[in-house]
Amino acid sequence: MAALSLPCSFPPSPCCSPPRPLVSRPQNAILIPNFRCRCRRKTTRVLAQTADLKGGETKKDYRLGVLDEFFLNAFRNNMVQEVGWDSEKPGYDGLMEVVNRLMTKGGSNSAIQQSSVRIIRSLFPPIILDLFKQLIAPIGGGKLAAMMIARVTAGTCQWLLGPCTVNSIELPDGSSCSSGVLVEKCRYLEESKCVSTCIHSCKLATQTFISDYMGVPLVMEPKFTDFSCQFKYGVAPSQAEEDKILQEPCLEVCPKASARKMRNIQVTQTVACPKI
């Protein structure tokens, strides 16, 4: 049976294209690739730019691959079990409605953080977490584990966070290590539009999970002016009273702040988010 040729949207690799002999060609000649590809990467993430109706800004349209959809559904299902409610909306929009229910169902900030930690923990087999903490985390003073987690974060969490890359950070001992992850514009924060949601269901919960269950300190530094976020694996967070991020005011676009304004509760940019 003849081999089926499929279109390929990524550069050819040795496994799917025969080597081309080196030949001389005119300087202005256009090289046209000639190869046959029998495989197609199904987890490729495509980011398209669409116009924002409110202005000249652009909004990213996230198109998820097969593995991205799997991770999103697993995360959402575990959150639904924790919250006891699900949205009728599909995909990421539905996930964010479940997140909002988590934030508004009642309970203290500590309870929200504990619920978020349980959701993250439920994504991993307990034996994997135990072995990693006992066997991998102690190697090299924790640098190996920090670099491993950074690469796993950048490789598997873009469906949740948006585009992100591994970068080098400074560790407490003054050395540098490629155990950072820079999120260009956090999708989770962009969609929630809420400082409290970012801090309690993501930042503090993730820091606690990585430290307690994987044995690696982590500090996350969201930037609310441009929605970027810097992960620093191998760096312990500051004390709560010293963390300026916990003193951030509500965002102007925060839907919860708008609701409080409608109830005649004054919220200004000089007042820290009341949910923090």
Looking at the predicted structure, is the pLDDT value of residue 43 above 90?
A: no
What pLDDT digit, counting tens, does each position of 238-267 carry? 998 889 999 888 887 787 655 555 555 554
Q: In whole numbers, what is the pLDDT of the chain averaged over residues?
A: 81
Residue type, 133: K
Q: How far is C-alpha 89 from the geometric centre of its chain's CA atoms?
A: 21
pLDDT tens-digit readout, 102-126: 998 868 999 999 999 999 999 999 9
Given this model, what pLDDT does residue 274 score?
58
Asked whether 214 and 238 are in contact (CB, 8 A), the reply is no
pTM for this prediction: 0.75
Question: Could you tell me the domains of the chain?
Answer: 64-262 (3.30.1380)
Name the one residue in this structure whose structure tokens are 């500051």: 238
Q: What is the rounded CA–CA span in Å between residue 273 and residue 123? A: 30
For residue 19, the model assigns a pLDDT of 52
